[in-house]
């Protein structure tokens, strides 16, 4: 626990004392893939936690102990509710009860691929309506460097209260990885930075009570840059291997075999694998936040933008591969074919479809006249999304031998572990595999085409 020295203000000391004695009440705004696991972790650490969400159905479900996030089992949530360590509400006035308020709302891109901070700004205004002395406000939503101090701070200070004097402001980037069995919220090191030493000390103290390791950096802008850098690193390396996939495919070389063999080198190399495109809230979006911000300084981000172009082009490359395979193996055109897309989530073993390339694949196929259905054991029905509203309500088909045989081709987009690959391989006429899922499981046949 961070120690408060004798020179700190009495207000800071009071907040620190509440944190140290676990009397501080935590408030989490946004109860999705980031907010709910964090709220559960804070509750399990011994703090009373209030979760805020605008969806009454979510709030009712959570207060009944029923979770909709895989990382927070309903059994664990029920315990926290029963112990009065967690409850959810739509009532923003309860923010006044919270000593630590953490913002976990989306930061999407606009149609022009510019940052959309409307959720962050609206949340900051909501907090401002109930802001009181002694609160620690932490932004966790991924954004460009400067957002905490340039966007959130002015909204809060419009109340007349001042950051560092009356309330404390910090940034701590979320690092959730849905479906990762090796790391959970409490074991992923937490980067934190406050606006000033008092805010940094309080943020460090609070997160240290919840997370195993806390890494303090010099400023909120630095902490914001840390998260952007992590996601750009992944986006650029995935783009590189996606480009290599296209090149090696033209040469008749299996890129997955190349990457696996290269990974045998114990130094100087880190394996990244190709796929049908990028998905999730972070990697397809966050690099463009830095691209946008860099224009303020008259700088271009050519490397980042090129990576984005390559990754965005992958769904069309996959469709071209499917079209070629249908023609060569079944003498079928794409427009006359019946295709089953396997895997709608953006990554395996989760239900998260945010920015999933599978949604793009579905739309591209249907624009070509292809009869297309999908199967995903984690996504029974397509929810409404901003970019793909017309797909809402579509339901996953059952994966039986009879159903599989009714399609001309299987397009494997997400390699969930609980898919019956043996049944697929036995009954499919053609399989276009974008993840090397069949190869990893030892299946080799002429009807499997990698794309």
Count of residues in the chain: 451
As a whole number of angstroms, the distance between CA 142 and CA 307 comes to 19
Q: For residue 91, give both structure tokens.
A: 């009532």
Using DSSP, state whether 319 is helix, strand or coil: helix
Supply φ then ψ for residue 87, to 5 degrees: -150, 155
Number of H-type helices and E-type strands within the chain:
16, 13
Instruction: Output the furthest CA–CA distance in the chain (Å, rounded).
Output: 80
Cβ proximity of 292 and 300 under 8 Å: no
Using DSSP, state whether 227 is helix, strand or coil: helix
Using DSSP, state whether 405 is helix, strand or coil: helix
Catalytic residue, from 90, 98, 104, 282: name it: 282
As a whole number of angstroms, the distance between CA 127 and CA 231 comes to 28
As a whole number of angstroms, the distance between CA 183 and CA 192 comes to 19
Q: For 289-365, list the strands marked E by DSSP.
A: 338-342
As a whole number of angstroms, the distance between CA 335 and CA 328 comes to 15
Using DSSP, state whether 168 is helix, strand or coil: strand
Helix 302-330 × helix 286-294 angle, to 10°: 140
Contacting residues for 450 by C-beta, under 8 A, at least 6 apart: 249, 254, 256, 432, 433, 434, 436, 439
| Distant-in-sequence contacts of 288-294, Cβ < 8 A, 24+ apart | 288/109, 288/113, 288/114, 288/115, 289/107, 289/115, 289/142, 289/143, 289/144, 289/228, 290/144, 290/145, 290/228, 290/232, 292/114, 292/115, 292/144, 293/115, 293/144, 293/145, 293/146
Active site residue 104: no
Q: CA 210, 216, 221 angle in degrees (round to 5)? A: 115
As a whole number of angstroms, the distance between CA 299 and CA 76 comes to 48
Q: For residue 206, give both structure tokens.
A: 């609070």
**Could you report how far apart the first and last alpha carbons of the chain are, in Å?**
51
Which residues does the annotation mark as catalytic?
Answer: 282
């Amino acid at each position: 626990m961070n120690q408060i020295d004798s020179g700190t203000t009495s207000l800071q000391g009071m907040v620190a004392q509440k944190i140290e004695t676990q009397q501080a009440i935590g408030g989490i705004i946004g109860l999705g893939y980031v907010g709910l696991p964090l709220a559960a972790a804070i509750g399990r650490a011994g703090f009373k936690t209030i979760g805020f969400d605008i969806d009454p159905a979510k709030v009712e479900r959570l207060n009944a102990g029923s979770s909709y996030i895989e990382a927070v089992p309903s059994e664990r949530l029920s315990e926290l509710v029963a112990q009065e360590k967690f409850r959810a509400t739509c009532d923003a006035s309860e923010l006044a009860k919270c000593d630590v308020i953490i913002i976990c709302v989306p930061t999407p891109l606009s149609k022009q691929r510019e940052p959309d901070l409307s959720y962050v700004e609206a949340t900051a205004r909501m907090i401002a309506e109930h802001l009181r002395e002694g609160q620690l406000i932490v932004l966790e939503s991924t954004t460009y460097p400067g957002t905490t101090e340039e966007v959130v701070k002015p909204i809060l200070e419009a109340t007349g209260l001042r950051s560092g004097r009356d309330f404390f402001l910090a940034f701590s980037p979320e690092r959730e990885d849905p479906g990762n069995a090796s790391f959970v919220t409490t074991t992923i090191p937490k980067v934190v930075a406050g606006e000033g030493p008092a805010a940094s000390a309080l943020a460090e103290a609070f997160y240290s009570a919840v997370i195993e390791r806390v890494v303090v950096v010099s400023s909120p802008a630095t902490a914001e840059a840390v998260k952007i850098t992590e996601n750009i690193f992944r986006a650029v390396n995935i783009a590189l291997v996606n480009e290599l996939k296209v090149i090696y495919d033209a040469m008749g070389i299996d890129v997955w075999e190349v990457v696996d063999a290269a990974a045998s080198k114990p130094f100087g190399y880190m394996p990244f694998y190709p796929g049908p495109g990028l998905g999730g809230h972070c990697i397809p979006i966050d690099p463009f936040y830095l691209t946008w911000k860099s224009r303020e300084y008259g700088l271009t981000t050519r490397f980042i933008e090129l990576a984005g172009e390559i990754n965005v082009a992958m769904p069309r490359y996959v469709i071209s591969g499917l079209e070629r395979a249908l023609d060569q193996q079944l003498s079928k055109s794409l427009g006359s074919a019946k295709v089953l897309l396997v895997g709608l989530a953006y990554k395996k073993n989760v239900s998260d479809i945010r920015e999933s390339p599978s949604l793009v694949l579905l739309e591209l196929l249907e624009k070509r006249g292809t009869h297309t259905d999908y199967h995903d054991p984690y996504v029974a029905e397509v929810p409404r999304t901003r970019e793909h509203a017309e797909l809402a309500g579509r339901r996953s088909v059952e994966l039986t031998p009879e159903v599989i045989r009714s399609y001309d081709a299987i397009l494997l987009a997400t390699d969930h572990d609980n898919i019956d690959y043996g049944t697929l391989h036995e009954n499919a006429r053609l399989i276009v595999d974008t993840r090397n899922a069949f190869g990893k499981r030892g299946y080799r046949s002429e009807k499997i085409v990698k794309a």
